[in-house]
Chain A
Amino acid sequence: MTTKNPLHESGISRRDLLQLGAGGLGLGLLGGIGPVPPVLAQASRSVAANPTAKILVVFEWFGGNDGLNTIVPYGDPLYYRHRPTIGIKEADVLKIDAQFGWHKSMLAMKHLYDEGKVAIVHGVGYDQPSFSHFTSISFWHTGAPNSGNEYGWVGRTASSLDPAGARANMIVNISAAQTLAVKGDTHVPLVFVDPMTFQRGVFAQEKAVLDALGANDAPVGEAHRYVLQVTKSAAQASEVVRAAWSRYREKANPDLRLLDLDKVAALIEADFPTQLYYVPLRGSLFDTHVNQAAPHDRQLQYCADAIEGFFAEMQRIGRADDVVMYVHSEFGRRVPENTSLGTDHGTAQVNFVIGNAVKGGMYGKPPSLSELVLGDNLQSTTDFRRVYATLIAEWLGADAVKVLGQPFDTLGLIKA
Chain B
Amino acid sequence: MQPSPKTIAALKAAVFALALVPLGELAAGALFFPDWLGANPGEFIDRATGRWTLRLLLITLCVTPLRAITGWNWLLRFRRMLGLFTFFYGVMHLSSYVTFRRVFDAEEIARDIVERPFMTVGFAALVLMIPLAATSTNAMVRRVGARRWQMLHRLVYLIAPLGVLHYWFMVKRDITQPAIYAAILAVLLGYRIVAGLAAAPSARKVSTGQTV
A complexed with B: no
Chain B residues within 8 Å of A, Cβ to Cβ? none
